[in-house]
Amino acid sequence: MNLNQKIALVTGAGRGIGKGCALELARRGADMVINDRPGSPDLAVTQQEIQDLGRRVVAVEGNIFERQGCQEVVDKAVEAVGGLNILISNPAYSLRGDFVDYDPLEWQKTLDATLTSGFHMSQLIARHMIDQGAGGKIIFISSVHASMPYQRSVAYNAAKAGLNQMARTIAAEVARHRINVNAIEPGWIDTPGEHETFDGSRFATQIPKIPWQRIGLPSDIGKAAAFLASDDADYITGTILRVDGGWVLKDV
């Protein structure tokens, strides 16, 4: 999984899964453009860790939950590094709540941030890759929520299901340009966001139910992303790769 001479853009790279992906791609030789929201306290930390790996890294703040922000991030990235070979699209927003009481504004915000932003970023990057004429890799970070109907997550579940079908459709359309498009479905991953959502008792009761007997790490998703971004995955496109330690099998 050698990524030497490749340049990757990873969105949401300040922490969690995005950071895990950025670090794993850098470990395999990719130079990086990393993005997080404006004012992120985490982006500089990720940037320093990638520099410590000996890789070139450019940090670009930007609100990728809207089209203009995506355009600005892509423009700054291309200006800084000259061209991009890999996109790891990792935007997400989720607020749990009962369906019958769910705020329509939160529904729209979740779809915009989790699904529509992926459309904007991938479209802009695909156009850039087509203009370069050298193919490329687009990898979406989806979720097991796409197929597991978790209660109190109606908007997030719908957004991730839509993301999967969007990835397959894009893959079919850009294959002639030798752009591989795939998605990764993480299971339960040990991220700051999960600790903000759940208390310690949730971890204590649920982790033993994971068939692999541990919670996933951001690096687990990063290693899958590095594989899909590499030449070893040249013949893989339109695929949804589940990386969950068997989480979806826990009740079988």
CA gap 22, 35 in Å, rounded: 10
Distances from the Cα of 245 to the Cα of 19, 25, 98, 219, 240, angstroms: 20, 21, 28, 13, 15
Q: What is the rounded CA–CA span in Å between residue 70 and residue 37?
A: 11
Residues belonging to the active site: 156
Cα–Cα distance measured from residue 204 to residue 212, given in angstroms and rounded to the nearest whole number: 15
Phi-psi region of 59 (alpha: psi -120 to 50; beta: other; left: phi over 0): beta
Cα–Cα dist 135/222, whole Å: 21
Which of helix, strand or coil describes residue 244? Answer: coil
Residue partners of 68: CB distance under 8 A and separation at least 6: none
- CA angle, residues 77, 81, 85, in degrees to nearest 5: 80
